[in-house]
């Protein structure tokens, strides 16, 4: 019997999907683990066995008894789950069109071209450590593994950069320029020692002098969600509520992070607000679904959690994971069919594991 097609599921309402998801989960039992990234919509997030950021989720899935890992996130997250999982586990992404616009800004061909161009100015393999944010494709993690480089998360980026500068004098950081800039600046690296590599320009739009002088070469990439936040939004909000505490994800612009009282990963944002005293007011620069969830979670404590941007700002690709796609993949598993498996080629996975292992070794 062939696998069920997705089309009939698109006609189901969320309530029907809810019941079918619950029934399929009951049937699959411990053979299934569902991972829910913090940015997921609530209709999907509620079904997750584990919730959190991508690396944490992948490691939890790998240590579970499950054969099937259904990752409610985006493509690079399911790749990490496949890379870190046991050979008997299968990683599945409910909708393979759920990508990441920031990750797409740094593809392997562009990075390899940049490496060649940098090598025409200096010995890249001797002077530059490539660092890729975990929000990137598996083949970029493999590139870093092959070139003495490493992966980072928004939590461990300072420790990773410390390690990098112990290896070589310069860092090529991709795909998110803001995480690289914000992290390096907090470590005491001045802005004038950082340059932006424009992948649409020959030699990144930089002169030989600029390349030789730079400590941080930042890829011209960004998160479409976090670029919506502006420093003036903080000023306008605090003019009305001067007691507000501002907290931002380091994917936000430099000016936003400089005006924030706290800067850190998604997990850091959650824990900081959770541990705050009752009656505090928070302006948060990160994805809308998470901020709304924090608002509901802590309002009974008298905490006021506000979204920084006046515009709706959710991760549109993450939003593609809906109850209909989740029901579809689960009922196919019940019928013995695997749909939307994410499989990283073994050579790529091995080199990516090298870069990930370096990261885990240097992280506290």
How far, in Å, CA of 90 to CA of 67, rounded?
Answer: 6
205 and 155 housed in the same domain: yes
Domain boundary among 224, 251, 270: 224
186 and 232 housed in the same domain: no
Q: What is the mean pLDDT of the chain?
A: 94
Percent of the chain with pLDDT over 90: 85
**Residue burial 121-150, b: 16+ Cβ < 10 Å; e: rest:** beebeeebbbbbbbbbbbbbbbbbbbbbbb
pLDDT in tens, 39-81: 888 899 999 999 988 889 999 999 999 999 999 999 999 999 9
For residues 247 and 269, is the Cβ–Cβ distance under 8 A?
Answer: yes
Closest CA to 285 of 301, 320, 261: 261
165 and 135 housed in the same domain: yes
The structure tokens listed for 246 are 């501002």
**Within a domain: 361:** no
pLDDT in tens, 116-144: 999 999 999 999 999 999 999 999 999 99
Residue by residue, DSSP assigns 42-75 as: HHHHTT-SEEE-HHHHHHHHHTSS-SEEEEES-H
With bands split at pLDDT 50, 70 and 90, how would you rate the model's confidence at 269?
very high
The structure tokens listed for 142 are 């493999």
**Within a domain: 357:** no
114 and 198 housed in the same domain: yes
Quick check: 354 pLDDT over 60?
yes
Closest CA to 133 of 50, 36, 222: 222
**Within a domain: 154:** yes
142 and 193 housed in the same domain: yes
**Residue burial 317-345, b: 16+ Cβ < 10 Å; e: rest:** bbbbbbbbbbbbbbbbbbeeeebbebebe
28 and 77 housed in the same domain: yes
How far, in Å, CA of 184 to CA of 193, rounded?
Answer: 10
Domain boundary among 224, 256, 283: 224
Closest CA to 125 of 195, 180, 177, 172: 172
24 and 130 housed in the same domain: no
Strands across the sheet containing 32-37: 50-52, 32-37, 68-72, 90-92
**Within a domain: 327:** yes
84 and 114 housed in the same domain: no
**Within a domain: 354:** no
Find the domain containing 255 and state its range.
Answer: 226-307
Spell out the residues 6+ positions from residue 241 whose beta carbon is closer than 8 angstroms to its own.
Answer: 281
279 and 170 housed in the same domain: no
Structural domain count of the chain = 3
187 and 216 housed in the same domain: yes
Query: What mean pLDDT comes out for the span 95-121?
Result: 92
How far, in Å, CA of 135 to CA of 80, rounded?
Answer: 10
**Within a domain: 353:** no
pLDDT in tens, 144-196: 999 999 999 999 999 999 999 999 999 999 999 999 999 999 999 999 999 99
Quick check: 313 pLDDT over 80?
no
Spell out the residues 6+ positions from residue 279 whose beta carbon is closer than 8 angstroms to its own.
Answer: 301, 302, 303
For residues 254 and 181, is the Cβ–Cβ distance under 8 A?
Answer: yes
Query: What mean pLDDT comes out for the span 326-335?
Result: 97
Q: pTM value?
A: 0.93
Domain boundary among 182, 207, 224: 224
For residues 336 and 29, is the Cβ–Cβ distance under 8 A?
Answer: no
For residues 222 and 251, is the Cβ–Cβ distance under 8 A?
Answer: yes
Q: What is the CATH number of the domain that holds 291?
A: 3.40.50.10800
**Within a domain: 312:** no
55 and 124 housed in the same domain: no
220 and 107 housed in the same domain: yes
**Within a domain: 293:** yes
The position carrying tokens 């996975």 is: 349
């Amino acid at each position: 019997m062939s696998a069920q097609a997705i089309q009939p599921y698109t006609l189901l309402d969320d309530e029907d999907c809810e019941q079918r998801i619950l029934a399929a989960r009951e049937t699959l039992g411990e053979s299934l683990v569902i991972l829910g990234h913090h940015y997921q919509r609530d209709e999907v997030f509620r079904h997750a066995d584990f919730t959190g950021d991508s690396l944490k989720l992948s490691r939890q899935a790998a240590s579970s008894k499950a054969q099937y890992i259904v990752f409610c996130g985006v493509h690079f997250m399911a790749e990490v789950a496949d890379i870190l999982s046991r050979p008997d586990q299968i990683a599945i992404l409910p909708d393979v069109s759920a990508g990441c616009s920031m990750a797409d800004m740094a593809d392997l061909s562009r990075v390899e071209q940049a490496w060649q161009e940098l090598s025409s100015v200096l010995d890249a393999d001797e002077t530059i450590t490539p660092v890729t944010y975990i929000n990137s494709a598996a083949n970029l993690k493999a590139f870093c593994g092959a070139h003495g480089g490493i992966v980072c998360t928004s939590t461990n980026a300072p420790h990773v950069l410390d390690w990098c500068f112990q290896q070589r004098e310069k860092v090529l950081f991709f795909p998110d320029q803001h995480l690289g800039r914000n992290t390096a600046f907090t470590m005491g690296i001045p802005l004038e020692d950082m340059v932006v590599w424009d992948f649409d320009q020959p030699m990144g739009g930089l002169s030989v002098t600029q390349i030789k002088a730079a400590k941080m070469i930042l890829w011209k990439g960004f998160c479409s969600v976090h670029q919506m936040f502006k420093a003036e939004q903080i000023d306008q909000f605090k003019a009305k509520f001067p007691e507000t505490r501002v907290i931002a994800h380091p994917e936000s612009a430099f000016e936003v992070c400089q005006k924030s009282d706290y800067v850190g990963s998604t997990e850091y944002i959650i824990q900081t607000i959770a541990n705050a005293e009752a009656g505090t007011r928070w302006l948060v620069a990160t994805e809308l679904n998470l901020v709304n969830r924090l608002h509901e979670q802590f309002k009974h404590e008298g905490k006021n959690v506000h979204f920084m941007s006046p515009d709706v700002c959710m991760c549109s690709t993450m939003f593609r994971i809906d109850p209909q796609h989740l029901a579809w993949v689960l009922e196919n598993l019940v019928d013995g069919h695997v749909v939307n498996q994410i499989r990283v080629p073994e050579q790529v996975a091995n080199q990516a594991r090298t870069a990930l292992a370096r990261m885990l070794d240097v992280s506290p």
